[in-house]
Structure 1
Amino acid sequence: MSVDTAAATDRLMRFLAVPGVTGQEKAIGREIMAALKQAGVPARAMRLDDANTRIPLPTETGNLIVELPGRGSQHNQPRMMFMTHMDTVPLCAGAQPKIAGRKIVNQARTALGGDNRCGCGILVTLAAELVRQKLDHPPITLLFCVREESGLYGARHVDTDDLGGPEMAFNFDGSSASSVTIGAVGADRWEVEIFGRASHAGVAPERGISATMILALALADVKAGGWFGKVVKGKGKDARQGTSNVGPVTGGEGRPAGDATNVVTDYVHVRGECRSHDAKFIREITKAYKAAFEKAARQVTNSEGKSGRVKFKAETDYHPFRMKDTLPVVKRATAAVTDIGATPTLRAGNGGLDANWMVRHGIPTVTFGTGQNEPHTIDEWINLDEYDRACALAVRLATMG
């Protein structure tokens, strides 16, 4: 497909230069709307929803929704949606993008933000090319989500009635444009409060109940049981697989775990996650963590025979999904990749995507890469050849009969 790649790159550089870490998407939202207006999309076609009022974390703005009416011979065809997310991880704050040959690199010691300003550039380029070339296409909704990086919250809390009833969707987030992601893992996010008893560690340590020791015993038990890191239970084709991780360990918001070396630690707060393509196995991994913490709390007692206690909470962060190869959205995706001269590769991802929630909402959604490389690291860079292919792919997806 013919795409003005120079203009597409200019848009990407423009978006990369605008701060917008997760939860703080107001400025990048304004920039995207300005770029859409410059491309010929009328202001009346754009609006911000109120998803931010339902997100349990402070969020400056809602999702950006843009509705493009159908044109020409396809104007009465079923609506489709193209989506991405506006936010970046906090490590991207202060990025200084620079073009180096066919790459965009970073002059600052931060992440670059290609995840997912590349997706933003692709969707705006799609709208610009549809207007510039007066291409026939069905009604299209563009969705720019907030807070993807901190929990897929924008996609989770979007009101599907605001989307115009798309029959299928295409999400842009990842590396290779020819990678057709039709499934992804689900995840539980858990947290545990460990309650011990403080005591002077030099004068009367036996009177204390160490929350730190409860944590240590629980994690040792989890590791010994094979529930930490890469988790595989069973053998051969019947093996169940997943992952788990223990994240922040604190004494509460903004506090260390423990007050001093001479005080038995009476409180520890821990957060973690469990993932798998199998929803039942996610729950089994989470259950193993809960059992380990409860067992450890019973094991740590003081001289009075009192033990520690734990309060374990878990919730589904996002649900796993796997779409059938025969679905119309998958067939359209693979045909479009072939049409731009690439070879489609169907895959299931091990990370959560906004597509997880779109599929949960009843909108079958395929995800493509955008040219991102080494995201969430200071070594991040963008492959402009792949970005250009993704722009061409978006136009082809929107216009093929």
Structure 2
Amino acid sequence: MATIIGKDGGSFMVNTSRLVHEFLTMVQIDSPSRQERAMADWYKARLIELGLTVEEDEAGKAINGTAGNLIARLPGDGQGMPIFFSAHLDTVEPGRGIRPLIEGDIIRSAGDTILGGDDKAGLAVILEAIRIIKENNLPHGEIELVITVAEECGLLGAKQLHRQQLQSIAGFVLDAGGPVGSIVVRGPAQTKIEATIRGKAAHAGVEPEKGISAIQVAARAIDRMPLGRIDAETTANIGVIEGGKATNIIPDMVNLKGEARSLDPRKLHAQTKQMTTILEQTAQEFGAYVQLTVEDLYPEINLKPEEPVVQIARQAIQACGLTPSLDSTGGGSDANIFIGLGLPTANLGIGMQNVHSVEEKMAISDLVKLTEVVLAIVKTAHDWR
């Protein structure tokens, strides 16, 4: 066990063996995106055992999944800032039949699957923190838990949430890949671009001049696009191209899928516009037609250092003897969605390593440190004025 000394001199314990046991239990429950039913049931039962009220929303039905988001509440004493903690139930593939191994301080996968620390490390830490609060009757304000589904396939569960479902005014997501002590304060907005290019079919050997190759149109357009790292704040990519039926047929249709991301919404708009304009102009040059769909996937994260949610995280991390860092990321998380709902949300580094790979690993010491940080956030938010 790890002993934590509070500012009032009182001490309480992180039960390391319990924390590790529940983490190992959770990673062995299969929960790929949209198939989180077993994991949701297990986690919901643990929260109810701890005396929390738990609701499950209709997100599962909306996204064609087996489970919805869980929203749990631990009533407070009416002091401080009402806050929420969040982690997601789903994992990426290969994530079935996980066999975790412990080697000293490190928990890793057996090498044929992911470990599932993304985000079951966050789930385990939240559960242990709530247990400690209950066991030690620690003072706390209103605490809500937002446990989402289908995060890994487009933040789909979080997108089904509504602001009126939550009483909190700020939140902390436990899902960033940095070290414990890091706070994501900047993250990009993202747009999804899908295009269907329609040309004209013809026999490739007999009369190719009568055809319009949709593949050639796509290739020319992609070659003209600025892609990859555009600048320090902006990236773009065409990730999928599908089309063609046979080598002796001029292809009359190609589907493209791409994206653009930027920390600056004006740059994101400009990059997206440039990509779609190039597609339209190139299709016109060849006498082809392009059908475009552009979707805003999530808004940017742009938290200021002076915002309460950032200050609370920093003070809590410092109280645990760690050095906080304010970081920027190129990826998206549920924090983007919560911010879009008007809820200032910090995504906290949880120490997971080599995520989304069969080399994934998690340090036991980081699980303990993160639990300490969560408890310190609860105390800091409770004392917040």
TM-score band, normalised by shorter chain:
over 0.9
Partner of 1:66: 72
Contact 1:51–1:159 (CA under 8 A) maintained in structure 2: no
Partner of 2:337: 357
Give the aligned residue type for 2:192. R
Partner of 1:41: 51
CA displacement, residues 91-139 of structure 1 (integer Å, 9 cap, x when unaligned)? 3233221111111111142222111111111111121111112111111
Q: Distance in 1 between matches of 2:217 and 2:267?
A: 25
Q: Distance in 2 between matches of 1:111 and 1:258?
A: 35
Q: 1:23 aligns with which of 14, 19, 34?
A: 34
Partner of 1:110: 113
1:87-102 to structure 2, matched below 5 A, reads 87-102=90-105
Contact 2:260–2:271 (CA under 8 A) maintained in structure 1: yes
Give the aligned residue type for 2:317. V
Residues 1:291 and 2:301 aligned together: no
1:200-349 to structure 2, matched below 5 A, reads 200-222=203-225, 227-232=226-231, 241-250=233-242, 257-300=243-286, 307-349=287-329
Q: Distance in 2 between matches of 1:140 and 1:297?
A: 54
Q: 1:141 aligns with which of 119, 141, 144?
A: 144
How far off its partner does 1:41 sit?
2.8
Check 1:105–1:396 CA distance in 2 against 1; reply closer, same or farther (3 A cut).
Answer: same
How far off its partner does 1:159 sit?
1.8
Structure 1 residues without counterparts, runs of 5 or longer: 233-239, 251-256, 301-306
Partner of 2:350: 370
Greater displacement, 335-344 / 350-359:
350-359
Partner of 2:23: 12
Count of paired positions = 369
How far off its partner does 1:378 sit?
1.8
TM-score by length of 1: 0.88
TM-score by length of 2: 0.92
Partner of 1:253: none
CA displacement, residues 267-318 of structure 1 (integer Å, 9 cap, x when unaligned)? 1111111000000111111111111211221232xxxxxx211011111111
Extract structure 1 runs of 4+ deviating beyond 3 A: 74-78
How far off its partner does 1:37 sit?
3.9
Structure 2 residues without counterparts, runs of 5 or longer: 5-12
Check 1:207–1:94 CA distance in 2 against 1; reply closer, same or farther (3 A cut).
Answer: farther
RMSD (Å), alpha carbons: 1.5
- Secondary structure class of the residue paired with 1:193: strand
Give the aligned residue type for 1:231. I
Partner of 2:7: none
Q: Distance in 2 between matches of 1:36 and 1:108?
A: 31
Q: Distance in 2 between matches of 1:98 and 1:110?
A: 12
Q: Distance in 1 between matches of 2:189 and 2:69?
A: 22
Q: Distance in 2 between matches of 1:319 and 1:262?
A: 45
Contact 1:118–1:371 (CA under 8 A) maintained in structure 2: no
Give the aligned residue type for 1:27. A
1:60-209 to structure 2, matched below 5 A, reads 60-70=66-76, 74-163=77-166, 165-175=167-177, 176-209=179-212
Q: Distance in 1 between matches of 2:102 and 2:141?
A: 35
CA displacement, residues 233-256 of structure 1 (integer Å, 9 cap, x when unaligned)? xxxxxxx73001111222xxxxxx
Contact 1:75–1:136 (CA under 8 A) maintained in structure 2: no
Q: Distance in 2 between matches of 1:345 and 1:77?
A: 24
Give the aligned residue type for 2:294. A
- Secondary structure class of the residue paired with 2:138: coil
Q: Distance in 2 between matches of 1:382 and 1:20?
A: 18
